[in-house]
Structure 1
Amino acid sequence: MTKRDERNSNFELLRIISMFLIVVHHFSVHGNFDTRDVFSYEKIALDILYIGGKLGVNIFVMIGAYFLVGKSFKWRRPVGVLIDMLVYNWGLFVVILLFRPNILTAERIYQMLVPFPNYYWFPTNYILLLMLTPVLNYFIRRVSELTLRYTLILLTVIWVFVPSLELTGIGYSDLSWFVYLYLLVAYIKLYPNVILNSPTFAKRLFWLSMTLTVVSILYFNAIGIVLPDKLAYGTFFLGSNKILTVGNSLGLWLWFKNRKPFSNHLINITAQAMFGVYLIHEQPLMRHIIWYHVDNSRVQGFWAMIAYGLIASAVVFVGCTLIDMLKNAILNPTLNKLSLWIEEKLNNSLGLYIEV
């Protein structure tokens, strides 16, 4: 049995679910539907499909954090992510150059050849989080439970509650939010309690938050019939750090964490492809090609939009998963050796991170 097979498949299954939610979200935001400032049942459906985006990103970061808290730093982790970014950008550049060269401009060519740091927001910030893990783990080891709890309470107030009241969160950024999620997961992992270990609590938190999320979407869209400027608030509580999304993320993550552990080879193998799914379908030029052809503006009716969004997203998700599995089978042995070689060189030349 491989090391991957020994991992708790609850987390691997949740990784798969979170990436599918992200793909569904991208169906909602990247399609050709452009009348979000007008009330329609199609807009309400797209707002509901929008829910999974930041929810999925939060969970993806939380899963990674759970396995990194307390672990020694390895250069191969951020290096591996960067290599995957380059492989997919360069590979997709060749594909587009062969089949759609008319959409390439000088700026797009440069961005595809040099995607770091501005081309992908999520992988860029995730690499930076990985680089910060030795500092975060050092902080977590050195402070008391009370100090860590106080830190989380303070950050929750200024980065969750304040923005949820439509005020500006001080010092908030994508990277700072990933750090917050890391510290939150660290606290839950290192200082477990009866409530946070309860599957019942996790399920209730998730379903309560999800119900309120849907209600908020319906409420603002209904108000938008009379006050059109309120239609934009349909997705207000769906941001990464909004209180309902935090409740959804924490509830769903705890739900899977607290389930009885099991191991499934197929789930674990499929989960390895999830980061590749993101890199393929969210590559900016591929994003344009995929969702232009999917075209969510062609659908009429609430349930038709929901069904079309889920089916189209499933097709994109499965297609990208198969592509990444093929890439893993063919290229990963070589790419893994490259990551280890770069790690050795960085350790010998820099030696930045030493466990204390």
Structure 2
Amino acid sequence: MARSAAPSGTGGELTDMAAHARRVVSGVANHSNGGERVSTAMPVSAAKRDGVRRGRRVRHRKTRNSSIELLRIIAMLMITAHHYLLGSDIYLMTQPFGISKVLLETFLYSGGKIGVVVFFAISAWYLSEHSTIRSSLRRVWILERELLFWGVTCLTVGVVLVPHDVTATVIIKSVFPLLSDSWWYATAYCVFLLMLPCLAPALRMLGRQRHAYLAVTMFLLWTVLQGFVPVFAVGLHGGDFLSFVYLYILMTYYRWYMRPMSVRNAWIMLVAGYVLILCSVVAGGLIYHYTGNMAKIQTVLLSTEYKLPTMMVGFALFVLFINNEFYSRTINFIATSAFSVYLITDHPIIYKYIWHGMLSLSRFYDSPFVVFIVIGVVIAFYGVCLVLDHIRLGLFRVTVDRHRGRWFDRLWDHATASRIGQSVQHDGVAKNG
């Protein structure tokens, strides 16, 4: 979040008074921080409210909007439910046509890509305003530690529980999770972060007209043509960083140039998106029921994150939640581990062990309450992963997070102090000037 600008002086006595106040507060702050420079370009009273009290500096934590954190939880539950149905021992698309099948496909199976749109939209919203090379690289560094921890941990569990499933490929994916695409979302997101410091300024330089042209062109090519006609292929496969670039271009245009969508229109978009999904599921299910062919047509509009219904539902959910703001310590606590739920349940070994074996869908698919059973299982696993991840957080607090990101900061300082780093910075300043 960008810092608010400090108030400037207006001349005469007010200027002298403001300058005197800044010197006083600066002296107090510098004395209490051992000479550390503290930004105090504000009146004394404002400085006190912002943390300079009784000769010491008070740190304030950023309060996360619990509405967005709740949406993050919902998105991860949707993704986990999708993985459950996709990784089960029975192929949902070939099951007899019925109410349970339609409900599972419409509201739970579809949640995979909808959840991806929502999860990335949250990140894109906050990354659209400020991103530097250092901040992007630092995010990748911090994320890689979590990926490596869960990769090695899940591999160790696999060696103990299912050693026959531990192959050379699984070992490589666990030890080098980011480079081996062990979790496609994590890899795609990190690649996106690496490109973000160039992408965001480039979009700003395009201006509104060219940005709109780019967004509309991508939308027509990928969401309309390729999205609705399966035989068309115009360059976007889905499940990689290009999908995130596409979504980011749409999100930034909305945030920078468009009026905020009303709650009423967001609800209309949400319902319309689910109606499209329902029609696709029912029509495809009937085609397969009577022909025995083309089972995948049931989810043709749900297969990737750039398809129209998934984007409609995902964006509508984001708008509905971003328009609300409240604080709940419980929700924020639960949301802290949302991404780890994905990392744990989607690891190759754990994925097969729980969804295909321990909790195979065939055990209770014939139950009239199968939809509620799936939801209950997903919520329960979120709870288990929440406990496991907070154990990880505790371990990190006493080890690598005692000085969070310190190794990266040292590497960055060393790199920028080198001749190459100084040359790059000098060239960048010269070009910008």
Same topology, TM > 0.5? yes
User: In structure 2, what is the Cα distance between the partners aligned to 1:191 and 1:279?
Assistant: 35
Q: Give the secondary-structure state (helix, strand or coil) at the position aligned to 1:84.
A: helix
Are 1:210 and 2:268 an aligned pair?
A: no
User: In structure 2, what is the Cα distance between the partners aligned to 1:158 and 1:151?
Assistant: 11
Q: Deviations over 1:285-337 (max 9, x none)?
A: 01011112110012243743212211111111221122112212331463343
CA RMSD of aligned residues (A): 2.2
Counterpart position of 1:116: 178
Counterpart position of 1:179: 245
Counterpart position of 1:278: 342
User: In structure 1, what is the Cα distance between the partners aligned to 2:60 and 2:90?
Assistant: 45
Alignment match of 2:412 (pick from 335, 346, 351) = 346
Q: Give the greater-gyration-radius structure (CA).
A: 2
Are 1:200 and 2:259 an aligned pair?
A: no
**In structure 2, what residue type is equivalent to 1:326?**
I
Counterpart position of 1:222: 286
Are 1:146 and 2:212 an aligned pair?
A: no
**In structure 2, what residue type is equivalent to 1:148?**
H
* Gap runs ≥5 in structure 1: none
Alignment match of 1:189 (pick from 255, 279, 283) = 255
Counterpart position of 2:362: 297
* Gap runs ≥5 in structure 2: 1-58
CA pair 35-217 structure 1, distance change in 2 beyond 3 A = closer
Q: Give the secondary-structure state (helix, strand or coil) at the position aligned to 2:129.
A: coil
**In structure 2, what residue type is equivalent to 1:51?**
S
Kindly state the Cα deviation for residue 147 of structure 1 after the two structures are TM-superposed.
Answer: 1.3
Bigger shift: 89-98 or 281-290?
89-98
Q: Give the secondary-structure state (helix, strand or coil) at the position aligned to 2:94.
A: coil
The alignment covers a number of residue pairs equal to 352
Do the aligned residues in 2 keep the contact of 1:197 with 1:258 (CA within 8 Å)?
no
Do the aligned residues in 2 keep the contact of 1:237 with 1:243 (CA within 8 Å)?
yes
Alignment match of 1:250 (pick from 315, 319, 326) = 315
User: In structure 2, what is the Cα distance between the partners aligned to 1:271 and 1:340?
Assistant: 25
User: In structure 2, what is the Cα distance between the partners aligned to 1:304 and 1:93?
Assistant: 34
CA pair 340-172 structure 1, distance change in 2 beyond 3 A = farther
Kindly state the Cα deviation for residue 27 of structure 1 after the two structures are TM-superposed.
Answer: 1.0
**In structure 1, what residue type is equivalent to 2:89?**
N
Kindly state the Cα deviation for residue 61 of structure 1 after the two structures are TM-superposed.
Answer: 0.6
Do the aligned residues in 1 keep the contact of 2:226 with 2:234 (CA within 8 Å)?
no
Kindly state the Cα deviation for residue 71 of structure 1 after the two structures are TM-superposed.
Answer: 1.2
Q: Give the secondary-structure state (helix, strand or coil) at the position aligned to 1:88.
A: helix
Q: Deviations over 1:183-239 (max 9, x none)?
A: 22212222231xx33111111111121122122212211232222224321111113
Are 1:24 and 2:90 an aligned pair?
A: no
User: In structure 2, what is the Cα distance between the partners aligned to 1:28 and 1:53?
Assistant: 10
Q: Give the secondary-structure state (helix, strand or coil) at the position aligned to 1:36.
A: helix
Counterpart position of 2:112: 53
Alignment match of 1:3 (pick from 50, 58, 61) = 61
Kindly state the Cα deviation for residue 139 of structure 1 after the two structures are TM-superposed.
Answer: 1.1
Bigger shift: 130-139 or 326-335?
326-335
Are 1:159 and 2:222 an aligned pair?
A: yes
CA pair 257-177 structure 1, distance change in 2 beyond 3 A = same
Which of the pair has the greater relative contact order for Cα pairs under 8 Å at 6+ separation? 1
Stretches (4+) displaced over 4 A: 350-356
Are 1:70 and 2:122 an aligned pair?
A: no
Q: Deviations over 1:7-54 (max 9, x none)?
A: 222211111110000011111100111363353435434423211000
